């Protein structure tokens, strides 16, 4: 790929590794076992083998990585910088193995050693540097950018503790710190030479018309780089995670020498706190100073790195937009606008207006949610304390906007009610603002930024989310992947619209049978794993009905478990009525301080305990909730699902990406007209989707009806029976009033309209059962879901970002 290069008398081509034949791969593996891990095959533990394997695979990632980096420099290409507080990457080993085309070789070599590749790969801890959809989306986009040859960096924080570990005690969620870095991380390279000072607090003084900020505290952001290899190993990008280190002057030697050891170490401890823990909250941001400081830490280090890289080969910062596109993943890095303006004005002598124009051309902002509690606001006082210079810039931006656009309606502006509105800030410093599904983008335009949208009608665009088929089909579902390759030839992995070709085979019973077999195998894998790791036995011939995602009232796990109770009661009333056996599977974590969500978790577990122990219904209904849902659990659950629960209150789920993964793996969706469900339904066809519930506009109207919940409950016998059972303590006999708060909420407020949508959900669930009994019909519907959801590949999303937002041409 690259021309031959000589440095220090070394021909870089000499360093190229030989073709990875099984023999070569085996040698490399044993070499690493001995010389890198420091053990031998006789004594090696699973961990040792996993490390040796990771180094063997990593070696192969370096060539495309170096090649891509050199090419980007040599061809002076534009780069994308994806700034995100979260990268929910999960495990890297198998993903890299697949993308490098080494899975078959690796499996064979381990076979010959009498070891199981899958078992070794399973030893890897998840890199859980994210909460949910937004963080996983960032990981899918990184992988797609690498596959498409879009030169890019992901910038994030190297949290020592990722998302907490969840376990259940007496059905209750208990959190424990996550510790993925306790053992070595074989994927990342420390780059001590790439370290930047990040300042906090202090004073701003004016000197000769210039503002000089002298921070009171300074920490160092140290880079840790992980290569991200694209499928087909044609290209690789970098995920650069910043670790906070105390800068030398933070350590108070004088106090230490005076014997005050603890006090001397305090500022140092504060510095390290910045990259200590991921904020464990999916949709709200209530952490005050620490969270704001973390956001600035990420943003400042990244922006400094970006400008430094640009200036290595350019001298005119005015041309920055030709070479740099910065994407802000939600408002979390929205301080990027003021930070870039600050660097341009304070360090590079730009005028304010020129700096603002330039920054705006470089920046883009993705909005991921309309939930008011998730739209970041920082009090002016806190901002003044932590980032005094940035507050000045924000105030100046606000004045400038007011001058440019004249009197503004109430509630518009970057600052109001003594708060800095980060969404508005991100909007005015970006040339494009995107929502993540068609419906969501309409709502962003209509409800969130109506005034800014009419001032800048060209700025808001939609890019519907997507997911990478490499991880979510090839890695997660090898039998399905094999069937796709046998049927369509290889190449679907990077051209997912080819799945359409499956429709040509839909009338072939043998093909449908083979497709059914892939689902059966996935169920067998899952039930084996549930038995081995969670001690849960489930039948493999039941309908697997799965809802996995963060616990949130708007996602309505509550409606799902209430329906489960209704279903159980019906089976008990008429056990012989020809019921479809179902396994109801739940997975997900609640933010530690979200009391209602934790109550719902406990209710699910309590219902599971009672229902699973009921001899009358045991063969027909089971409820399972394996603790600690994460990316690697998703890889096991999603391929096995028959039914995908996407049942949020319409207008509240910005997109969803789980919904796409399920459909691509042949699950049918039961869902509302919300987020990307709308587009999934359009693609698969209304006949192949179980729709129910109020629309987003109906939701708004219903909420204004007084007593809407009570009215709905009074109309629904099923709902009343369920609520009565809970109130009587059927699921909490030792504490009948345990769910008083849930019952009170459902009867009296029900903001998320569980009661209003219950009957419609119930009818649709019954339609699911009837359809499932018609085996052929179900199989056709499932197949059409796979065939028609190629659109939801993250390759398509990234292409749209490249052309509509980043204005970049990929290198491949």
678 binds ligand GLG (CB under 6 A): no
Closest to ligand GLG by CB, 180 or 554: 554
Q: What is the spatial distance between Cα 95 and Cα 114, in angstroms, rounded to a whole number?
A: 23
755 binds ligand GLG (CB under 6 A): no
Helix (H) or strand (E) holding 432: strand 432-435
Closest to ligand GLG by CB, 132 or 186: 132
- Shortest distance in whole angstroms from residue 282 CB to ligand GLG: 6
657 binds ligand GLG (CB under 6 A): yes
Q: Which residues contact 99 (CB under 8 A, 6 or more apart)?
A: 143, 146, 147, 229, 230, 231, 232, 233, 470
Closest to ligand GLG by CB, 202 or 592: 592
Q: How many residues bind ligand GLG (CB under 6 A)?
A: 16
- Shortest distance in whole angstroms from residue 133 CB to ligand GLG: 3
**Which residues, listed in sequence order, are joined to residue 153 by a DSSP beta bridge?**
81, 238
Q: Identify whether 661 is a catalytic site residue.
A: yes
- Shortest distance in whole angstroms from residue 652 CB to ligand GLG: 8
Closest to ligand GLG by CB, 606 or 674: 674
Of the residues 63, 398, 424, 653, which one makes contact with ligand GLG according to CB under 6 A:
653
Stretch that binds ligand GLG, among 230-238, 568-576, 654-662, 731-739 (CB under 6 A): 654-662
Site string for ligand GLG, 266-285 (x = CB under 6 A): ----------------xx--
Closest to ligand GLG by CB, 137 or 713: 137
Out of 661, 681, 780, 788, which one is annotated catalytic? 661
CA torsion sign for 523, 524, 527, 529 is negative
Q: Identify whether 715 is a catalytic site residue.
A: no
Out of 389, 421, 440, 550, which one is annotated catalytic? 550
Beta-strand pair 582-587/543-548: parallel
Task: Give, as ranges, the residues between 220 and 239 that touch ligand GLG (CB under 6 A).
Answer: none
In contact, 734 and 698? CB cutoff 8 Å: no
Instruction: Tell me if residue 260 falls in helix, strand or coil.
Output: coil
Closest to ligand GLG by CB, 275 or 283: 283
Closest to ligand GLG by CB, 238 or 369: 369
Closest to ligand GLG by CB, 333 or 675: 675
553 binds ligand GLG (CB under 6 A): no
Question: Within a 10 A sphere around the Cβ of 618, how many other Cβ atoms?
Answer: 13
Q: Identify whether 288 is a catalytic site residue.
A: no
In contact, 294 and 311? CB cutoff 8 Å: no
Q: Which residues contact 326 (CB under 8 A, 6 or more apart)?
A: 80, 81, 83, 303, 306, 336, 340, 362, 363, 364
Q: What is the distance, to the nearest Å, from the Cα of residue 134 to the centroid of all Cα atoms in its chain?
A: 4
Q: Identify whether 708 is a catalytic site residue.
A: no
Task: Give, as ranges, the residues between 122 and 161 that touch ligand GLG (CB under 6 A).
Answer: 132-134, 137
Closest to ligand GLG by CB, 99 or 281: 281
Closest to ligand GLG by CB, 220 or 439: 439
Give the single-character DSSP code of 581. P
327 binds ligand GLG (CB under 6 A): no
Q: Identify whether 368 is a catalytic site residue.
A: yes
Structure tokens at 232: 């087909």
- Shortest distance in whole angstroms from residue 654 CB to ligand GLG: 4
Out of 50, 549, 556, 683, which one is annotated catalytic? 549
- Shortest distance in whole angstroms from residue 429 CB to ligand GLG: 20
307 binds ligand GLG (CB under 6 A): no
Question: Within a 10 A sphere around the Cβ of 421, how many other Cβ atoms?
Answer: 23
Instruction: Tell me if residue 592 falls in helix, strand or coil.
Output: coil
Long-range contact list for 112-118, CB < 8 A, 24+ apart?
112/22, 112/26, 113/26, 113/41, 115/49
656 binds ligand GLG (CB under 6 A): yes
In contact, 484 and 473? CB cutoff 8 Å: yes
Site string for ligand GLG, 337-376 (x = CB under 6 A): -------------------------------xx-------
Out of 368, 377, 432, 498, which one is annotated catalytic? 368
Q: What is the spatial distance between Cα 13 and Cα 3, in angstroms, rounded to a whole number?
A: 9
Q: Which residues contact 6 (CB under 8 A, 6 or more apart)?
A: 12
In contact, 546 and 644? CB cutoff 8 Å: yes
- Shortest distance in whole angstroms from residue 369 CB to ligand GLG: 5
Extended beta strands in 230-352, E state:
236-246, 324-329
Place of tokens 């359009």: 682
Q: Which residues contact 783 (CB under 8 A, 6 or more apart)?
A: 502, 503, 506, 512, 515, 666
Residue nearest to ligand GLG (CB): 133
- How many residues in total does the chain contain? 812
- Shortest distance in whole angstroms from residue 347 CB to ligand GLG: 34
- Shortest distance in whole angstroms from residue 600 CB to ligand GLG: 17
- Cα–Cα distances in angstroms (integers) from residue 517 to residues 481, 510, 639, 790, in the given order: 12, 10, 12, 21
- Shortest distance in whole angstroms from residue 665 CB to ligand GLG: 17
Stretch that binds ligand GLG, among 116-124, 167-175, 316-324, 655-663 (CB under 6 A): 655-663
Q: Identify whether 36 is a catalytic site residue.
A: no
φ/ψ region of 491 (left if φ > 0, alpha if ψ in -120 to 50, else beta) reads left
**Which has the closest alpha carbon to 85: 266, 236, 287?**
287
Q: What is the spatial distance between Cα 797 and Cα 655, in angstroms, rounded to a whole number?
A: 13
Q: What is the spatial distance between Cα 609 and Cα 775, in angstroms, rounded to a whole number?
A: 31
Q: Which residues contact 454 (CB under 8 A, 6 or more apart)?
A: none
Closest to ligand GLG by CB, 234 or 329: 329
Q: What is the spatial distance between Cα 492 and Cα 512, in angstroms, rounded to a whole number?
A: 19
- Shortest distance in whole angstroms from residue 702 CB to ligand GLG: 21
Task: Give, as ranges, the residues between 420 and 449 that touch ligand GLG (CB under 6 A).
Answer: 436
Stretch that binds ligand GLG, among 150-158, 293-301, 491-499, 650-658 (CB under 6 A): 650-658
Give the single-character DSSP code of 3. P
Closest to ligand GLG by CB, 222 or 653: 653
Instruction: Tell me if residue 200 falls in helix, strand or coil.
Output: strand
Stretch that binds ligand GLG, among 403-411, 420-428, 651-659, 663-671 (CB under 6 A): 651-659
CA torsion sign for 49, 52, 53, 54 is positive
Q: What is the spatial distance between Cα 440 and Cα 653, in angstroms, rounded to a whole number?
A: 8
590 binds ligand GLG (CB under 6 A): no
- Shortest distance in whole angstroms from residue 432 CB to ligand GLG: 16
What residues act catalytically? 368, 549-550, 555, 657, 661
Which positions touch ligand GLG (CB under 6 A)?
132-134, 137, 282-283, 368-369, 436, 465, 653-657, 675
């Amino acid at each position: 790929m690259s021309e031959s290069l000589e440095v220090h008398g070394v021909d870089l081509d000499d360093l190229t590794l030989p073709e990875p034949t099984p023999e070569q791969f085996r040698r490399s593996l044993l070499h690493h076992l001995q010389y890198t891990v420091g053990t031998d095959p006789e004594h090696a533990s699973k961990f040792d083998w996993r490390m040796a394997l990771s180094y063997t695979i990593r070696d192969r990632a370096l060539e495309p990585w170096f090649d891509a980096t050199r090419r980007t420099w040599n061809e002076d290409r534009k780069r994308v910088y994806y700034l995100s507080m979260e990268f929910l990457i999960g495990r890297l080993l198998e993903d890299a193995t697949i993308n490098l085309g080494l899975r078959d070789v690796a499996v064979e070599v381990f076979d010959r050693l009498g070891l199981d590749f899958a078992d070794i790969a399973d030893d890897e801890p998840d890199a859980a540097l994210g909460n949910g959809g937004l963080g996983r989306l960032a990981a899918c986009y990184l992988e797609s950018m690498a596959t498409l040859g879009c030169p890019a960096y992901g910038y994030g924080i190297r949290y020592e503790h990722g998302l907490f570990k969840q376990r259940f005690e007496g059905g209750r969620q208990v959190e424990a710190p996550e510790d993925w870095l306790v053992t070595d991380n074989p994927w990342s390279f420390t780059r001590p030479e790439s370290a930047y000072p990040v300042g906090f607090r202090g004073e701003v003084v004016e000197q000769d018309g210039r503002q000089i900020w002298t921070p009171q505290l300074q920490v160092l952001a140290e880079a840790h780089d992980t290569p991200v290899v694209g499928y087909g190993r044609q290209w690789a990008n970098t995920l650069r995670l910043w670790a906070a280190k105390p800068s030398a002057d933070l350590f108070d030697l004088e106090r230490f020498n005076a014997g005050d050891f603890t006090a001397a170490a305090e500022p140092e401890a504060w510095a390290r706190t910045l990259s200590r823990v991921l904020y464990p909250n999916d949709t709200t941001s209530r952490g005050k100073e620490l969270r704001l400081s973390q956001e600035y830490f990420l943003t400042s280090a990244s922006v400094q790195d970006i400008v430094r890289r640009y200036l290595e080969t350019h001298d005119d910062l005015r041309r920055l937009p030709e070479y740099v596109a910065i994407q802000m993943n939600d408002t979390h890095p929205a301080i990027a606008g003021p930070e870039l303006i600050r660097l341009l004005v304070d360090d590079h002598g730009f005028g304010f207006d020129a700096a603002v124009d330039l920054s705006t051309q470089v920046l883009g902002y993705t909005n991921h949610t309309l939930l008011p509690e998730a739209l970041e606001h920082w009090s002016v006082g806190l901002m003044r304390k932590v980032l005094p210079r940035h507050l000045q810039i924000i105030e100046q931006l606000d004045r400038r906007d007011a001058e440019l656009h004249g009197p503004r309606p109430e509630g518009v502006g970057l600052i109001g009610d003594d708060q800095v509105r980060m969404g508005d800030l991100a909007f005015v410093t970006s040339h494009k603002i995107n929502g993540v599904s068609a419906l969501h983008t309409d709502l962003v335009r209509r409800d969130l930024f109506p005034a800014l949208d009419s001032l800048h009608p060209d700025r808001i665009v939609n890019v519907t989310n997507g997911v990478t088929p490499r991880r979510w089909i090839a890695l997660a579902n090898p039998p399905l992947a094999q069937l796709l390759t046998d049927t369509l030839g290889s190449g679907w992995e990077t051209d997912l619209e080819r799945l359409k070709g499956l429709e040509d085979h839909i009338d072939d019973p043998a093909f449908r049978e083979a497709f059914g077999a892939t689902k059966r195998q996935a169920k067998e894998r899952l039930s084996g794993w549930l038995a081995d790791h969670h001690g849960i036995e489930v039948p493999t011939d039941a309908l697997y009905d799965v809802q996995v995602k963060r616990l949130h009232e708007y996602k309505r796990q509550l409606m799902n478990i209430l329906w489960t109770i209704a279903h159980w009661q019906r089976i008990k009333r008429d056990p012989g009525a020809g019921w479809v056996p179902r396994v109801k599977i739940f997975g997900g974590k609640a933010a530690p301080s979200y009391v209602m969500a934790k109550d719902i978790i406990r209710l699910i577990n309590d219902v599971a305990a009672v229902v699973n122990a009921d001899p009358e219904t045991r063969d027909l209904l089971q409820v399972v909730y394996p603790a600690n849902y994460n990316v690697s659990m998703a890889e096991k659950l999603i391929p096995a699902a028959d039914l995908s629960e996407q049942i949020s209150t319409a207008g509240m789920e910005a997109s969803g990406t789980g919904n796409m993964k399920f459909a691509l793996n042949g699950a049918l969706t039961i869902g509302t007209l919300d987020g990307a469900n709308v587009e999934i339904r359009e693609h698969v066809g209304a006949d192949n989707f179980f729709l129910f519930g109020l629309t987003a506009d109906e939701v708004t109207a219903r909420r204004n009806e007084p007593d809407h919940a009570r009215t709905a409950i009074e109309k629904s016998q099923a709902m009343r029976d369920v609520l009565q059972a809970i109130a009587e303590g059927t699921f909490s006999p030792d504490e009948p009033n345990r769910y008083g708060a849930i019952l009170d909420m459902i009867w009296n407020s029900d903001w998320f309209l569980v009661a209003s949508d219950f009957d419609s959900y119930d009818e649709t669930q019954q339609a699911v059962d009837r359809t499932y009994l018609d085996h052929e019909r179900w199989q056709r519907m499932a197949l059409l879901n796979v065939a028609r959801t190629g659109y939801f590949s993250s390759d398509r999303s990234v292409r749209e970002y490249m052309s509509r937002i980043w204005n970049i041409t990929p290198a491949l």
